[in-house]
Amino acid sequence: MASLIKRIPELSLLIFGTVIIYIAMGLLSQLNDTNVLTADGAWMLIVGSFLMSFVIAIVAVLGGVGGGVLFTPVMLGFTSIDSLLVRSTGLVVAMFSGLVSSGPFMRKGLADIRIVFYCAIPIIIGAMLGAQVAISMADSMGAEGDAIVRLLLGLILVFIAVMFIMGGAKNEYPKRKFIDRISEKMNLKSAYYEESLGKNIYYQAIRVLPGGFLFLIVGFTGGFFGLGGGWAVVPVLNLVMTVPLKVSAASSGVLLAMGNAAAIWPYIMKGALIASFAAPWMLGQVIGGIIGAHVLSKINAGFVRNILIVLLLMTSVKLISRGIEGFFGVDIPIL
Amino acid sequence: MSDVKNDSENKTEERPPVSYAGIIYGDIIYWGTLAGAFVVLLGSIISFATTNNYVDPAYMLSALMDGKNVNEIWTGAEGVGAPPNGHWYLSEFTTGNGLTMLGIAMGVFSVTPAIFASAYYLYKDNDKVFASVAALAGVITIFAMI
């Protein structure tokens, strides 16, 4: 950690600045108490959000998912914050660790810029549509729309958890048996140097058309639920398009950052992103994202993945019960 | 074929070159995001330590924790009265929460110049198809902003 801070001076400056500013915010606060929050409570909310965001960034990198997959369901399941505001902040959580890790991944030659741009078009369009539908639904359906969102998100979480339990996408060097005509024309081939094998790995993406269609769906889901989509991008690249796992994982972060950047503008322009609340979540993701991209490969990811599965299943139960409560007006006694 | 097999026959070959279009893309986003993070820090301290705010942050956070929706929050905000429409923070960047929002927006916006710079270098590398795909992605991102 100390060597990392020396190696990346901008990281140490950001961590130092964050600590100083947060202490100063507590000491010099001009905020007034309200019926809901005291001035100290508001400061603790900011600092607590920053720390949670930092932890989520690390867990998300280790678990191989975007931070939005943790943030959005937990906030929707266990707090009374409006679902549209949770989902817009969820996009901040989903995208900023991906944004800062784009630099290191590109420099290492792991993320494939041509694959990223090809997949970016459907994912950006899907994410924008998802965000617009979310905003329209919040305007027109109110509490009923909220209940539907919670219910659907709960079901998606069960699906993600099952995907993790089954092992998910783990095909380090997928073999392709054929190449379709469109993929051949697109010529999405490249190579990267695999440190562990000490040699170059050559690959070519196939099934680019079904892959593109799946990215449209991933983008829509990410933009609508504020989930990001890290849980789905790697399997699509790796299993459907036969891109090596390492390149899939690195390209996934870059790709999601691009898709979520497009999805978040409609929320910003409608005032559905509250700056004071989103800021600590952004800072936690930036700092956690830089650290995650450089040093966290040595930690036991399997253990974190198991925690993630339990967390996703527990949250899904809460979300589904809250969804049913809201939609049918019944009371389900679950904590 | 997988590529690992083919590769074993080429052990003497050099490491594949890293795409400059990718490097420039990653670098612009990395530094843009970091610059945005520092602006967010500055905005956060102004929000808390002064009364120079577009909307009182204590009110915003309380309304948020109280479960109010977007319309209710902005409608109840003193001196604002309605949800903003568009890039409200550009005209309010001298206030604490305006500057905080500007910092977040800077981080998000960094994607757009990065895409176009990358498209330019792909074009220079004679990769005209993917330069066009990148430019299209950039145009769609701009479309999302307006």
Tell me how far apart the alpha carbons of residues B133 and B119 are, in angstroms, rounded to a whole number.
8
Selected residue with higher pLDDT from A177 and A89: A89
Can you tell me the mean pLDDT for A53-57? 89
The pLDDT confidence band at residue A46, using thresholds 50, 70 and 90, is very high
Tell me how far apart the alpha carbons of residues A120 and A258 are, in angstroms, rounded to a whole number.
7
Q: Is the ipTM of this complex over 0.85?
A: yes
Can you tell me the mean pLDDT for B101-118? 95
pLDDT over 60 (residue A297): no
Distance from CA of B140 to the nearest CA of A (A): 8
- What's the pLDDT score for residue A317? 81
- For an interface test with B, the pick among A14, A87, A88, A102 (most B C-beta atoms closer than 10 Å) comes out as A102
- What's the pLDDT score for residue B54? 93
- What's the pLDDT score for residue B8? 45
As a whole-number percent, the residues of chain B with pLDDT over 90 amount to 76
Distance from CA of A251 to the nearest CA of B (A): 11
Inter-chain contact A202–B3, Cβ cutoff 8 Å? yes
Q: What's chain A's average pLDDT?
A: 83
Inter-chain contact A37–B2, Cβ cutoff 8 Å? no
Least confident interval from A60-64, A247-251, B70-74: A60-64
Least confident interval from A40-49, A282-291, B37-46, B108-117: A282-291
As a whole-number percent, the residues of chain A with pLDDT over 90 amount to 25
- What's the pLDDT score for residue A125? 92
Per residue, the 3-state secondary structure of B21-48, as one string, reads HHHHHHHHHHHHHHHHHHHHHHHHHHHH
pLDDT over 80 (residue A175): no
Can you tell me the mean pLDDT for B46-74? 93
- What's the pLDDT score for residue A62? 65
The pLDDT confidence band at residue A294, using thresholds 50, 70 and 90, is low
Q: What's chain B's average pLDDT?
A: 89
Selected residue with higher pLDDT from A116 and A63: A116
Q: Where are the alpha helices (DSSP H) in A64-204?
A: 68-78, 83-107, 113-165, 181-186
- What's the pLDDT score for residue A64? 62
The pLDDT confidence band at residue B12, using thresholds 50, 70 and 90, is low
Inter-chain contact A36–B50, Cβ cutoff 8 Å? no
Residues of A in contact with B134 (CB under 8 A): 117
Asked if residue B70 lies in contact with residue A135, where contact means CB atoms within 8 angstroms, the answer is no
Can you tell me the mean pLDDT for A312-319? 78
Chains A and B form CB pairs within 8 A to the count of 277
- For an interface test with B, the pick among A53, A99, A150, A194 (most B C-beta atoms closer than 10 Å) comes out as A99
What is the tens place of the pLDDT at every residue in A6-23? Answer: 778 888 899 999 999 999
Tell me how far apart the alpha carbons of residues A281 and A178 are, in angstroms, rounded to a whole number.
44
From residue A302, alpha-carbon distances to A63, A252, A306 in Å are: 8, 20, 6
pLDDT over 80 (residue A303): no
Asked if residue A133 lies in contact with residue A309, where contact means CB atoms within 8 angstroms, the answer is no
pLDDT over 70 (residue A265): yes
Distance from CA of A306 to the nearest CA of B (A): 31
pLDDT over 80 (residue A50): yes
- What's the pLDDT score for residue A231? 72
- What's the pLDDT score for residue A158? 83
Inter-chain contact A258–B115, Cβ cutoff 8 Å? yes
Residues of B in contact with A254 (CB under 8 A): 25-26
What is the tens place of the pLDDT at every residue in A202-261? Answer: 888 889 999 999 999 988 888 888 777 777 888 888 888 888 888 887 888 888 888 888
B3 → chain A, closest CA residue: A202
Asked if residue A188 lies in contact with residue A204, where contact means CB atoms within 8 angstroms, the answer is yes
Contacts of A112 (CB under 8 A, 6+ apart): A188, A190, A192, A243, A247, A251, B22
The pLDDT confidence band at residue A116, using thresholds 50, 70 and 90, is very high
- What's the pLDDT score for residue A236? 86
- What's the pLDDT score for residue B72? 93
